[in-house]
């Protein structure tokens, strides 16, 4: 019974490159959330998606960041033209129902921008 | 907007000591409250939860009571073990908003 799967676990990019982070939710879960954890800080909400829909993107930076959760395949968090400040751990979580608050987290993708 | 304030860490205790990690919240509605634990190099795992006032969540010897009058959800354990060393996050979910709001986390180190 696989949990939330994120890949890659570690990603190194140079400034100006693109980063793509993938998340497969737990089986039967149709709600996906992305959070960012900066060094020595807590988790900050980025975006909440359901299949083919962005429900809440109030935590997403206005530029360079985008997210999708297509009908088939994993959810993707895309960061274009990365900068050093994007270095962080990006966590994906899923839930089977909306608004229960109980989240199942992946192990995170750690992005390092050189 | 919603917010969660946690006791600042790091917290260092000896094995079998009593643990309290304070958590207070601000929310406009009637949120559900959670404690998550994060072990090194891993994602967060749900530790316990409470969905309404006066509910007590408990798991693995940890417990927390939803106190609406003080807007608090303090985490306690009577006797910590070395294996409890981790980062603990308090969180709330506004049941109408979908997303959860997390505190900054408290790092606990338990020494033998």
pLDDT reported for residue A1: 52
pLDDT at A79 over 90: yes
Q: What is the mean pLDDT of residues B101-107?
A: 93
DSSP state, residue B79 = S
For residues A41, B27, A59, B98, the Cα torsion angle rounded to the nearest 10 degrees is: 120
- Main-chain dihedrals φ then ψ at residue A14, nearest 5 degrees: -90, 155
3-state SS assignment for residue B56: strand
Q: Which helix (H) or strand (E) holds A62?
A: none
Cα distances (Å, whole numbers) of residue B103 to A62, B36, B92, B109:
23, 10, 9, 18
- Kindly determine whether residue A101 and residue B45, on different chains, have CB atoms separated by under 8 Å: no
Output the pLDDT for position A98.
66
Interface test with B, best of A34, A35, A42, A95 (most B CBs within 10 A): A42
Does the structure show a pLDDT above 90 at A101?
no
Question: Using CB atoms, which residue from B34, B99, B103 is nearest to A56?
Answer: B99
Query: Which residues of chain B neighbour A100 with C-beta distances below 8 Å?
Result: 32, 93, 95
- The per-residue pLDDT for range B33-78, each reduced to its tens digit, is 999 999 988 889 999 999 999 999 999 999 999 999 999 999 999 9
Nearest-angstrom CA–CA distance, B70 and B20:
16
- Residue B12 per-residue DSSP state: E
Instruction: Answer whether residue A60 shows pLDDT above 80.
Output: yes
Does the CA dihedral A55-A77-A101-B101 come out positive or negative? negative
pLDDT surpasses 60 at B21: yes
What is the mean predicted confidence (pLDDT) over A8-33? 95
Distant-in-sequence, close-in-space partners of B69: CB < 8 Å, separation ≥ 6: none
In the structure, what pLDDT confidence band is assigned to residue A28 with cuts at 50, 70 and 90? confident
Residue A33 near residue A81 (C-beta atoms within 8 A) = no
Confidence band of A99 (pLDDT split at 50, 70, 90): low
Question: Is B44 in contact with A43 (Cβ distance < 8 A)?
Answer: yes
Nearest CA-CA distance, residue B81 and chain A, Å: 23
A37 with A87: CB under 8 angstroms? no
Cα of first residue to Cα of last residue in chain B, in angstroms, is 41
What integer pLDDT is reported at residue B43 of this predicted model? 87
A70 token code pair: 């297509």
- A84 C-beta neighbours (distance < 10 Å), count: 9
Residue A23 pLDDT: 97
Q: Nearest CA of chain B to the CA of A89: how many Å?
A: 10
Q: Cα distance from A80 to chain B (closest Cα, Å)?
A: 24
A12 sits in which H/E element: strand A10-13
| pLDDT mean over A14-20 | 98
* Cβ proximity of A93 and A49 under 8 Å: no
Least confident of A32-36, B1-5, B78-82: B1-5
CA distance A45 to A60: 8
């Amino acid at each position: 019974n696989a949990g939330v799967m994120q890949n890659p676990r570690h990603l190194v990019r140079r400034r100006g490159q693109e980063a793509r982070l993938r998340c497969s939710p737990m089986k039967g879960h149709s709600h996906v959330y992305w959070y960012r954890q900066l060094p020595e800080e807590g988790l900050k909400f980025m975006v909440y998606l359901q299949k083919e829909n962005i429900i809440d993107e109030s935590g997403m930076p206005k530029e360079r960041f985008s997210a999708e959760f297509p009908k088939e395949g994993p959810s993707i968090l895309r960061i274009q033209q990365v900068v050093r400040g994007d270095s962080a751990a990006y966590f994906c979580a899923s839930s089977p129902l909306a608004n229960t608050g109980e989240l199942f987290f992946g192990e995170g993708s750690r992005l390092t921008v050189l | 907007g919603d917010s969660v304030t946690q006791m600042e860490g790091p917290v260092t205790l000896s094995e079998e000591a009593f643990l309290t990690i304070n958590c207070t919240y601000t929310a406009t509605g009637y949120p559900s409250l959670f404690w998550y634990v994060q072990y090194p190099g891993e994602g967060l795992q749900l530790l316990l939860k409470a969905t309404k006032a006066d509910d007590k969540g408990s798991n693995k010897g940890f417990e927390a009571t939803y106190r609406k009058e003080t807007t608090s959800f303090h985490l306690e354990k009577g006797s910590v073990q070395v294996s409890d060393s981790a980062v603990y996050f308090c969180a709330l979910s506004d049941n109408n908003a979908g997303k959860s709001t997390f505190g900054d986390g408290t790092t606990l180190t338990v020494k033998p």
